[in-house]
């Protein structure tokens, strides 16, 4: 079955810096890769997703890149702000399977 590894487990950055979180997956048939943000005490919320037919997707300060050959995908947050502080989860799935989540990255943005 699918296995998703996420790194780092914690990440601390200064406000205005960029943050990068990386995930690798094992199932080469996986074709859907969402990222979720979970603020303290709140529900996980989808912030961006990418499908295997594209290599990069951007939404304002957030971008996701996908390398199908290497089987890894990354979340990039530019110009970080304190409100970006949260736990971020990556996930992967293919048609016929439920999402498999990574272990999460706790991002702390200090002002």
Partner 1 sequence: ETGVTQTPRHLVMGMTNKKSLKCEQHLGHNAMYWYKQSAKKPLELMFVYNFKEQTENNSVPSRFSPECPNSSHLFLHLHTLQPEDSALYLCASSQERDMNQPQHFGDGTRLSIL
User: According to the binding rule CB under 8 A, does residue 99 interact with partner 1?
Assistant: yes
Q: Residues 6-45 vs partner 1: string with x where CB under 8 A?
A: -------------------------xx-x-x-----xxxx
Q: Which two tokens stand for residue 77?
A: 């947050």
User: According to the binding rule CB under 8 A, does residue 102 interact with partner 1?
Assistant: yes
User: According to the binding rule CB under 8 A, does residue 49 interact with partner 1?
Assistant: yes
User: According to the binding rule CB under 8 A, does residue 104 interact with partner 1?
Assistant: yes
User: According to the binding rule CB under 8 A, does residue 93 interact with partner 1?
Assistant: yes
User: According to the binding rule CB under 8 A, does residue 94 interact with partner 1?
Assistant: yes
Burial 1-13 (b: 16+ CB within 10 A, else e): ebebebbeeebeb
User: According to the binding rule CB under 8 A, does residue 54 interact with partner 1?
Assistant: no
Residues that bind partner 1 (CB under 8 A): 31-32, 34, 36, 42-46, 49, 51, 89, 93-104
């Amino acid at each position: 079955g699918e296995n998703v590894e996420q790194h780092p487990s914690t990440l601390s950055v200064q406000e205005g810096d960029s943050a990068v979180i990386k995930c690798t997956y094992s199932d080469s048939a996986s074709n859907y890769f969402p990222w979720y943000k979970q603020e303290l005490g709140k529900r996980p919320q989808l912030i961006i997703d990418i499908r295997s037919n594209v290599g990069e997707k951007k939404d304002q300060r957030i971008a996701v890149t996908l390398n199908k050959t290497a089987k890894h995908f990354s979340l990039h947050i530019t110009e970080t702000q304190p409100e970006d502080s949260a736990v971020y989860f990556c996930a992967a799935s293919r048609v016929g399977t439920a999402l498999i989540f990574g272990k999460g990255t706790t991002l702390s943005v200090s002002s």
